[in-house]
A and B are shown apart, each in its own frame.
Chain A
Amino acid sequence: MDPKQAQMLREIQALEFVAVELTLYLDTHPGEQEPLNDYNTVAERLNQLKAHYERTYGPLAAYGSSPVEHRWRWIEEPWPWEVQY
């Protein structure tokens, strides 16, 4: 994987990790405002970054999660277990 793509993927993984962590925390603390604000901040940045990544390197998810331009790139390499970081 080219270093630029790997770098962007790393950023997405890091941001999404924060989103996962906040999701679990909010599941057991649904009334707290501060983690909810953090969740929204992360969600916005994550969506921007994913949209940018997908425009350049192809979709991260299928099933209609985002529109596909030109050709069907979903099945293109590398699959997650093939990525060299």
Chain B
Amino acid sequence: MWLYEKKLQYPVRVYNRDLRMAKFLMAQYGGPDSELSAAVRYLTQRYTMPTNKAKGLLTDIGTEELAHWEIIGTMIYRLLQGATPEQLRREGLGSYFALHDQAVYPADANGVPWTAAYIQATGDPVADLHENLAAEQKARATYERLIRLTDDPGVKDTLRFLREREVVHFQRFGEALNDVQEEMARKKIF
């Protein structure tokens, strides 16, 4: 089971309401390489991992991704806070408002709802871990673009933290992949 902690993993400081930025951040909330995709991907793949290192790592990174999903959700919530329908409409969120008001719905920056089709669990640990390495790089690249889309120092700071986490996850997945491949080679020999 999971134990919820009533705190964010990293602080969210939003200095100014920025409706467009809220919309852009949906990329990491409900997009293909979002934190939600990451969490569901890893927590799904872990069942069929052959080594304890990979099972442990997918459980723990999957859990951390849920905390990142909460951070992004909080940023969107705060960036939208207090906006009027007229302001939302002017800033390109009229259709979002029509469907969701100010709820934080898992869709991407273009309004496309999140789908499990974004992720894969093949039952092949080498294929799955390669997917995860790619996913971490895509998330890193998305964060770098998002950082360029805002001037808010608070938003930038939190996005930089999240970007760094993708780099660390990539590193750990690489180690888990090596371990899985060594294990498979051992099995072939004996």
Give the B-binding residues of A (Cβ under 8 A). 9-10, 12-13, 16-17, 20-21, 23-25, 27-30, 59-63, 65, 74, 79-81, 83, 85
From B93-101, B130-138, B145-153, B172-180, give the one contacting chain A: B172-180
The reply to whether the CB of B141 lies closer than 8 angstroms to some CB of chain A is: no
User: Which residue of chain B has its CB nearest to the CB of A74?
Assistant: B6
| Given the contacts A20-B64, A27-B172, A28-B175, A83 and B8 also touching, CB distance less than 8 Å | yes
In the assembled complex, how far is the CB of residue A14 from the closest CB belonging to chain B, in whole angstroms?
A: 9
- Within 127-170 of B, Cβ neighbours of A (below 8 Å) are at 168-169
**Cα distance A9–B9 when bound, in Å?**
10
> Contact between B10 and A13 (Cβ–Cβ < 8 Å)?
yes
A79 CB contacts on chain B under 8 angstroms: 6
What per-residue 1/0 map shows which CB atoms of B1-19 lie under 8 Å from chain A? 0011111111111000000
In the assembled complex, how far is the CB of residue B61 from the closest CB belonging to chain A, in whole angstroms?
A: 7
State the interface size on chain B (CB cutoff 8 A): 28
**Cα distance A27–B172 when bound, in Å?**
9
**Cα distance A12–B4 when bound, in Å?**
15
B89 CB contacts on chain A under 8 angstroms: none
> Contact between B168 and A21 (Cβ–Cβ < 8 Å)?
yes
* In-complex Cβ contact of B56 among A17, A27, A65 (8 A): A27
User: Which residue of chain B has its CB nearest to the CB of A64?
Assistant: B3
| Given the contacts A21-B168, A28-B57, A28-B175, A81 and B6 also touching, CB distance less than 8 Å | no
* In-complex Cβ contact of A24 among B5, B7, B60, B74 (8 A): B60
Closest 8 CB pairs of A and B: A28-B175, A81-B74, A27-B56, A27-B57, A85-B11, A80-B8, A24-B172, A60-B6
